[in-house]
C-alpha cells in the first residue's frame, strides 16, 4: 500500500468543515480520527496541524466550540459548524469539484470521443 500522504495545502479546512457537517459536534481528537479513518489511514494528522486550523476556522467565524465532557470524562472543546461555516463548505466543495474536473481532463480521465 502507498503509506501516509501529506495533507495538501488548502484541504484541511475543507476536511474539518465536512467532518463537522456530517457528524455534528466533535472534539479535536474526534475530528482528527475521522479524517484519518475516511482517508483509509493514508492521512495522519498531528495536533500541531489540526489545532491551528481549528483556531483559524473559529477566528473566521466558520466554527464555534463549547466545553463538554468527553467519553473519558475529561473537559474538551467540541467544535460545530456555524452558518458561515456551512456557506464556506458549500463554496469550497463546489470549487474542489471544479478543480477535480479540470485535473481529470488534463489527466485524460475526461476524454470523450
Q: Decide if 6 is inside a domain.
A: no
Total domains in the chain come to 1
User: Would you place residue 90 in the very low, low, confident or very high pLDDT band (cuts 50, 70, 90)?
Assistant: very high
Q: How many CB atoms lie within 10 A of CB 16?
A: 28
Q: Decide if 1 is inside a domain.
A: no
- Rounded Cα distance between 52 and 32, Å, is 13
Q: Decide if 94 is inside a domain.
A: yes
DSSP 2: -
- Rounded Cα distance between 3 and 20, Å, is 26
What is this structure's pTM? 0.85
At 18-76, the pLDDT tens digits run 999 999 999 999 999 999 999 998 888 887 889 999 999 999 999 999 999 888 888 99
What pLDDT was estimated at residue 1?
Answer: 42
User: Would you place residue 5 in the very low, low, confident or very high pLDDT band (cuts 50, 70, 90)?
Assistant: low
Range of the domain at 90: 12-106
Q: Which domain CATH number covers 29?
A: 1.10.10.10
Amino acid at each position: 500500500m502507498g503509506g501516509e500522504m501529506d495533507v495538501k495545502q488548502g484541504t484541511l479546512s475543507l476536511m474539518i468543515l465536512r467532518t463537522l457537517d456530517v457528524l455534528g459536534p466533535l472534539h479535536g481528537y474526534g475530528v482528527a480520527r475521522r479524517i484519518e479513518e475516511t482517508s483509509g489511514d493514508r492521512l495522519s494528522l498531528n495536533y500541531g496541524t489540526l489545532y491551528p486550523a481549528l483556531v483559524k476556522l473559529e477566528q473566521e467565524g466558520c466554527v464555534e466550540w463549547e466545553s463538554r465532557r468527553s467519553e473519558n470524562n475529561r473537559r474538551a472543546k467540541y467544535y460545530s459548524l456555524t452558518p458561515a461555516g456551512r456557506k464556506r463548505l458549500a463554496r469550497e466543495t463546489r470549487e474542489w469539484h471544479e478543480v477535480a474536473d479540470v485535473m481529470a481532463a488534463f489527466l485524460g480521465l475526461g476524454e470523450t470521443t
